Amino acid sequence: MQLDDLYRRVIMDHYKNPRNRGTLEEDAISISLNNPTCGDRITLQMQVEDGKVKQAKFSGEGCSISLSSASMMTEAVQGKTLEEALALADQFSSLVKGEPAEFEDYEDIEALSGVCKFPARIKCATLAWNALRKGIEQQQ
């Protein structure tokens, strides 16, 4: 199987079976962002306890890249400290820009960055991560 096919398969899996899609109770941080080029919108909710992401969920509408990225991001930040979550957001930014970065325990995200090298796709892929950044900023 070609690497691109593998990447697409991983993305479609997250798109069709999204992890952590839904909403949290009212005490969660909630950030809504849209992609101005297409109007797609994502709401990220996070429950932070003792400086750690206890739960993260997302809702909204978007393309396969933006929704699979949200699915992967909410999985990756679960249980992480806010600093660690921010570091993941930085790593992801580097990956989509083609700069070296490694998600040692999260290969799906490398697959995502592998198909997101075009500017329009980068905006799709980073939407959820930008929401994460905003949510963390609100806590600091």
Contacting positions for ligand FES (CB under 6 A): 35, 38, 40, 62-63, 65-66, 120, 124, 127
Residue (29 or 127) nearer to ligand FES, CB:
127
CA distances from 2 to 8, 14, 89, 96 (A): 10, 19, 27, 20
Residue (33 or 48) nearer to ligand FES, CB:
33
51's torsion region: left (phi>0), alpha (psi -120 to 50) or beta?
left
Residue (11 or 77) nearer to ligand FES, CB:
11
Q: Name the minimum Å distance from CB 35 to ligand FES.
A: 4
Beta bridge partners of 55: 47
CA pair distance 52, 103, nearest whole angstrom = 19
Q: Name the minimum Å distance from CB 38 to ligand FES.
A: 3
Q: Name the minimum Å distance from CB 124 to ligand FES.
A: 3
Q: Name the minimum Å distance from CB 60 to ligand FES.
A: 9
Q: Name the minimum Å distance from CB 66 to ligand FES.
A: 4
- 46 with 135: CB under 8 angstroms? yes
Q: How many CB atoms within 10 Å of residue 62?
A: 22
Residue (40 or 108) nearer to ligand FES, CB:
40
Residue (46 or 125) nearer to ligand FES, CB:
125
Contacts of 17 (CB under 8 A, 6+ apart): none
